[in-house]
Structure 1
Amino acid sequence: MGAPRITARDLVEILPTEVVTLARPGADRPVLGVEIIEAGGPTVAHHGELVLVVGHRDAGEVLDRLGELGNAAGVALRRKWADDAAVQRRCDELGLALLAVADDAPWSRVLAGMRSALDATAGPAESVDQVYGDLFELADRISTLLGAPVTVEDATSRVLAYSTGQEDVDDARLLSIVGRQVPREVREHFRSLGVFRHLASSDEPLAVPAGKDGTKPRLVLPVRAGSEWLGSVWAVVDEPVSPQRNAKLAAATQTLALLLLRLRAQSELQHHLELDRVRSLLRGVAGDRPVGLEEGPWRVAVLHGPDHLTAESRCELWTTLARRNGWGRPLVADADGVVYGILREEGAAPGSWQWLAMMVRQERADDPTIWTVAGRPVATLDRLPLSRTEADEVSRLPDEQVSKPVAAVESAWAHVVIARAMAGVAGSSPVAPLRIEDDRDEQLLATLEAVIDHWGQPQRAARALDVHPNTVRYRMGQIDEVCDADLEDPVQRLALKLEFLAERWRPSST
């Protein structure tokens, strides 16, 4: 059974009406994720995501931001902006579903509710969700123990869980929860205090003083498994923690370490499941659809380079490149030593063939070994192996026949057809007696090929050889004496031409 398809309208029906309502229906686009952007912050590609637009001061700012989100699955705005007629018209023009969020609803709650609703429909990620649930429960327990708000972060400062209540105790906590990532300026503040250096090397809790910008003091607890730093607990505390509570905290962080290890294992398992689903599609094996596979038509592309990496490492690199350029759930997998991507044929959004072509040309500036070729677009999943086969065939063509760094089978189909035909050329041939042994044989073979290429036009054949037409006639007389082929037969001429091509491309035995 394929992955469920949920739209912005579906999410609105799941969430409480006093929190979120549907202001404009927009196009029927699947929601692949939920993210947030703030006023003044950068906008990256948000293809397939429901975007929460936060902190904009007037409708003009909102309209400018909407212009950058045309590929999103929808946008969520405070009701005062969602009710604006100009904003609604712009969303209609872009096909964006517009969700109106109650003015008094905390963004952190809205974000968490949407992500939970989306995760609940995903099915395959149930085991990962269970670990996240345990993390939130443990965050609440630590919060109760300390009498303070708590966040749980991984080693990259990504917020994994947080205790309920008091999200807005200070801006650093609020922004970390809302954005699911500690803001850069907050990270830099704590880095300047040596917090991350301590986390990477110590098991001991660290008291962090308040900041000048209103950031409240924290108690930071490293979470480790042996010598490996897995993450940390951040508690907003106003006074030192007693030794008795510190002992209980040590037990809690040990439990948290186990949960983080479980989360990593489950995430890796989910990643491998997705890889296997993509591989199954490439091989024509029926199975679950990968998460993020939108409606076709699709192309299969071979993703080449960097040459010095293994197929598994190349797959990881291309996945990272895809995500960095906006494709949230890349359909990239290695199979039989080759890295493939399944791209949408239509449009220029992340995950499309046009988008990949643009990305590859940009990345070539840093690594000239990166290039890609693709098979034909196909409308049904069971024909993806055909597109894969064609992409492989284009990849095997000589360099002079492939337009690097980006080529599709449409631009190389003639060479592909000839290569297929040459693959079966073997055995005896009428031109075997003319196999090159000296300069005379080489001249005769070149003459025969020129005559075939310019059949019925001896003057053009002579010009191609840079000889007199009489020389062509003389050599053809010599060829007729040893070559048992009827050149009047177009089929035999084609067969001879394939013989020449096969000989030219056949690897040398020396």
Structure 2
Amino acid sequence: MSLDIDGDLFDLANALAGLLGAPVTIEDRDTIVLAYSGGQQDVDEARIGTILGRQVPHHYRDALAATGVFDKLRSTDDVVTVDLPHEHMVTRAAVALRDKGVLVGSIWAAIPGGPSAEQEAILRDAAPVVTLRLRAEHARTDRDRRERIDQVATLLAGGAEAGEIVDRRAMAGPLAAVAIRGTEEALAHRAAGPLTLHLSAVAPSALSAPLPGGLYGVLPAASASRILGDFLNRFGGRAQLAVGIGAPASQASDLAESRRVADQVADALVRRGALGRVASLDEVFTDVLVDRLSGFLRTHADASPLTTLLEHDRRHKDAGLVAAVDAFLDAGEVSAAAQALGVHANTIRNRLRRARECGVDLADPETRLALMLDLRARRPRQ
């Protein structure tokens, strides 16, 4: 067997596929695709999904895990064969990639009927060659990753150097900063590699990198929502992430403000459990507004008309003024508010009258605005 160790991982995958007469993928230990052989993507749906998503789809990964193949790869250097006919998968042959005894990835070949003794020998002999290239790729990737982090941080700062990066990368504006959040920072950082691969295919001039607080990027403003929505659909951790898109920036100096908006949108989504969603400010404007005001409302709660109603309800059990006012403000009229609370319309009218007697007049637009904002801020976030 002869593999060209001077080529990159894709060259190795193609060469190995030629020797095996079978399509090949090279994956890291988290089943993220690092390279694959070309021209053989349609062998089955599992391979199609793996190539398109740059990762083994969760459904197939769970099916593979149930066979014990990942446990075997952690413990043996032998070729492991997996047959899942009920998943309509062509038989897979896999071999572990180990660097100084540590599992760093695996080679997978789709071979109908399973590998022959000769094909198993080819896979075993290929493993150390691919591992050497993988080590070199990791070193290069680490350098590239550090450079991307520096570039993204510089872009988001919006200074003079940001303009130089925009020009050097031919990033056509308007641009938008994006913030990707998870319930934990590590969840967002885990998507860094897959997002880099995704952007390299669909928006080569765009940049993304993990930074303190989450995963950030700078993308074309006009297509950012579509690109990131497509990414979430393909990425297995969709349900753990939320994406905030900042305001369009016509020049590099505007990216700092775009980043602030992206942060606010992403935080609003995460606080309300709206994971798996991509949004811009216009889609969650009220949520962001309430979040921005919540500190002020807490600090100055004593001056709020809502506090007056809450104190009345506390002193007069079952008075229901807050509930009646909340329902009325939500519904916009008495009958709908009564229906929402399951009471007679006169009950709502009486409670609104008592609120007015307490000094909270809902005929005043400014009072209604203050109440709506405070009620929204105190409402449990879903």
Number of the residue aligned with 2:152: 278
Q: TM-score with structure 2 length normalisation?
A: 0.58
271-280 vs 387-396, which moves further: 387-396
| Partner deviation per Cα, 1:409-456 (whole Å, 9 max, x = no partner) | 22222332333233421220334354354883561111123344566x
Deviation for aligned residue 1:183 = 4.0
Match of 2:349 among 473, 486, 492: 473
- Label 1:328 to 1:306 Cα distance change in 2 as closer, same or farther (>3 A): farther
Percent identity between matched residues is: 24
Q: Is the 8 A contact 1:305 1:370 kept in 2?
A: yes
Amino acid at match of 2:285: W
Deviation for aligned residue 1:264 = 6.3
- Label 1:316 to 1:445 Cα distance change in 2 as closer, same or farther (>3 A): same
Distance in 2 separating the partners of 1:373 and 1:393:
8
Q: Is the 8 A contact 2:241 2:277 kept in 1?
A: yes
Number of the residue aligned with 1:432: 307
Distance in 2 separating the partners of 1:157 and 1:358:
24
- Label 1:294 to 1:465 Cα distance change in 2 as closer, same or farther (>3 A): same
- Label 1:231 to 1:454 Cα distance change in 2 as closer, same or farther (>3 A): closer
Match of 2:197 among 320, 330, 333: 320
Q: Is the 8 A contact 1:397 1:415 kept in 2?
A: yes
Match of 1:491 among 355, 366, 373: 366
Distance in 1 separating the partners of 2:274 and 2:189:
25
Amino acid at match of 2:293: A
Unaligned runs of 5+ in 1: 1-149, 160-180, 202-221, 223-227, 233-259
Q: Is the 8 A contact 1:306 1:367 kept in 2?
A: no
Deviation for aligned residue 1:460 = 4.2
Deviation for aligned residue 1:329 = 5.6
Number of the residue aligned with 1:186: 18
Matches within 5 A, 1:368-407: 368-397=239-268, 404-407=276-279
Deviation for aligned residue 1:385 = 2.5
Distance in 2 separating the partners of 1:285 and 1:342:
14
Structure number with higher relative contact order (C-alpha < 8 Å, ≥ 6 residues apart): 2
Q: Is the 8 A contact 1:279 1:334 kept in 2?
A: no
| Partner deviation per Cα, 1:28-55 (whole Å, 9 max, x = no partner) | xxxxxxxxxxxxxxxxxxxxxxxxxxxx
Distance in 1 separating the partners of 2:123 and 2:210:
36
* Residue 343, structure 1, aligned to residue 214, structure 2: no
- Label 1:498 to 1:371 Cα distance change in 2 as closer, same or farther (>3 A): closer
Amino acid at match of 1:297: P
Q: Is the 8 A contact 2:156 2:259 kept in 1?
A: yes
Deviation for aligned residue 1:494 = 1.1
Number of the residue aligned with 2:6: 153
* Residue 197, structure 1, aligned to residue 130, structure 2: no
- Label 1:453 to 1:193 Cα distance change in 2 as closer, same or farther (>3 A): closer
| Partner deviation per Cα, 1:110-169 (whole Å, 9 max, x = no partner) | xxxxxxxxxxxxxxxxxxxxxxxxxxxxxxxxxxxxxxxx9652573648xxxxxxxxxx
Q: Is the 8 A contact 2:225 2:278 kept in 1?
A: no
Q: Is the 8 A contact 2:178 2:244 kept in 1?
A: yes
| Partner deviation per Cα, 1:357-401 (whole Å, 9 max, x = no partner) | 23322446x754355332232211222222222222222335769
Amino acid at match of 2:325: L
- Label 1:354 to 1:322 Cα distance change in 2 as closer, same or farther (>3 A): same
- Label 1:448 to 1:305 Cα distance change in 2 as closer, same or farther (>3 A): closer
- Label 1:341 to 1:441 Cα distance change in 2 as closer, same or farther (>3 A): farther
Deviation for aligned residue 1:311 = 4.7
Amino acid at match of 1:430: P
Number of the residue aligned with 1:214: none
Distance in 1 separating the partners of 2:180 and 2:352:
47
Number of the residue aligned with 2:31: none
Alignment RMSD (CA, Å) = 4.1
Amino acid at match of 1:424: F
- Label 1:292 to 1:305 Cα distance change in 2 as closer, same or farther (>3 A): farther
Number of the residue aligned with 2:88: none
- Label 1:156 to 1:265 Cα distance change in 2 as closer, same or farther (>3 A): closer
Amino acid at match of 1:338: G
Q: Is the 8 A contact 2:177 2:245 kept in 1?
A: yes
Deviation for aligned residue 1:464 = 3.8
Deviation for aligned residue 1:295 = 0.8
Moved over 6 A (4+): none
Matches within 5 A, 1:113-262: 152-153=5-6, 156=9, 158=11, 182-183=14-15, 185-188=17-20, 192=119, 194=121, 197-198=124-125, 200=127, 230-231=132-133
Structure (1 or 2) with the greater helix fraction? 2
Amino acid at match of 1:496: L
Amino acid at match of 1:411: E
Q: Is the 8 A contact 1:401 1:412 kept in 2?
A: no
Deviation for aligned residue 1:296 = 0.8
- Label 1:504 to 1:398 Cα distance change in 2 as closer, same or farther (>3 A): farther
Distance in 1 separating the partners of 2:185 and 2:152:
24
| Partner deviation per Cα, 1:69-107 (whole Å, 9 max, x = no partner) | xxxxxxxxxxxxxxxxxxxxxxxxxxxxxxxxxxxxxxx
Number of the residue aligned with 1:46: none
- Label 1:312 to 1:422 Cα distance change in 2 as closer, same or farther (>3 A): closer
Deviation for aligned residue 1:186 = 2.9
